[in-house]
Amino acid sequence: MAYKKENILIVDDDIHILELLQRQLEALNYYTFKAVSVKEAVTILKGNTIDLLVTDLQMPEVDGFQLIQYVSEHYSKMPVLVVSGYISAKGALEMGKSGVVDYLVKPFTKEELKNAIDKSLVNNTSKKEVKVSKSVSKFDELIGESEAFNVVKDIIERVKDIKATVLIQGESGTGKELIARAIHYNGKYARAPFIAVNCGAIPENLLEAELFGYEKGAFTGANESRNGFFQAANGGTIFLDEIGNASAKVQNSLLRVLQEKEIIKVGAQKAQPIDIRVVAATNSNLLELVTQDKFRQDLFYRLAVVEIKAPPLRNRKTDIPLLVDKFVMKYGLEYKDRFLKVSPEALDLLLRYPWPGNIRELENCIQRAVIMSDKSIELSHIPDALKYQIDFPEEALVSLAEMEKKYIKKVLDTVGNNKTKAAEILGIDRKTLRNKMSD
């Protein structure tokens, strides 16, 4: 089965990083070109058809920002993935001006690189679809036809062309960022910036400065004035993931943005107007945090103008065959250069399993199964942990939290209390696993 792979140009002045990226991308069956300078990259761009630019920012003489600007002016349809040690708010602003919305922070795994490449190419496809046919919405990455998932797609269709604030709630692994991207890239603001910010990944003492920018001298180390992620996303959409982790101070500033449509940099006296759509996401119960005085009630209602509940996979079982087909084709073509079949027994097990790690766990399962299989995916290719079913208590119904703990203990017992392996099976990180065990 023929499968077209894109041409990718990699630009980095560190030859070791350049060669590492080239090996990883070629292992993923992409065609690669490499350049150690912006000048060399421009020469390659002029003489070849390039589908994606992957570039570092910090380079001698001419830096990556100038290359991004060049590509924006001369190859406007070409997606750009920035690979850098740290993306500052200033960097995000410059990328936003050039229409660049995807970046990968070093160090990263091969899987993270692959996902970032896929996302960049998909985003570019989404932009083209919006430009060609604005009357038709296509949510290619949102796979599912279940009743629960059709509700999500209907809400996306209703909000994609307006700047109402959206709050996406759902468990880890349910695709909240994909929903946010679908809102942005399928609507009339698709050509404006989309900036994704993980509020849980930025230290609390830096989050406000990164979001809203700061003035020179506002704090120790503020040697120059800088804009923040909100300025970078101005005119478009900012996606605030893990919004429940925002500090009280950041919550106050967010409330001002939503009420007054303006921001104030850290250390500044004067407000700046902002035209932006805010899409927030959380896997926490914000109303419960409100009752615990950990989240502002007025901010919750401002964020939840439109609410989207990302349904867990166990509540949309009819979508599992569609998702399995997608992942089998994706990894079958990547690893085996062909589309594999799934045995009825294997599919039956996948349909019966509760999927606490949701879509992320399902994708990991299928990826492994494809690697271990030859012609078709059989029951033997499914991880043993999935074959253990929870013994639901007959005497009484229990809460979801209690059932989750019971399942986590089941997985830990199965893997000999190996927390790294258990976290991998559950589709969560070790920190999340520790938190769930201590709750």
- Which CA distances in Å does 136 have to 100, 132, 160, 423? 24, 9, 12, 40
- The 8-class DSSP code of residue 332 comes to I
- Which CA distances in Å does 4 have to 45, 51, 335, 409? 20, 11, 14, 44
Residue owning tokens 């078709």: 376
Per residue in 271-308, pLDDT tens? 889 999 999 999 999 999 999 999 999 999 999 999 99
Which pTM was predicted? 0.60
Residue 310: name the closest of 178, 160, 165 by CA: 178
Domains of the chain with bracketed CATH: 1-132 (3.40.50.2300), 140-311 (3.40.50.300), 315-438 (1.10.8.60)
Per residue in 195-220, pLDDT tens? 999 888 888 778 888 888 887 766 77
Residue type, 160: K
Rounded CA separation 286/411 (Å): 28
Residue owning tokens 């084709």: 329
Per residue in 317-374, pLDDT tens? 999 999 998 888 778 877 876 778 899 989 988 998 989 999 999 999 999 999 999 8
CA 435 to chain centre: 22
String of DSSP letters for 5-36: --EEEEE-S-HHHHHHHHHHHHHTT-EEEEES
Task: Return the pLDDT at 397.
Answer: 64
The SS3 of residue 133 is: coil
The SS3 of residue 122 is: helix
What is the average per-residue pLDDT within 23-37?
87
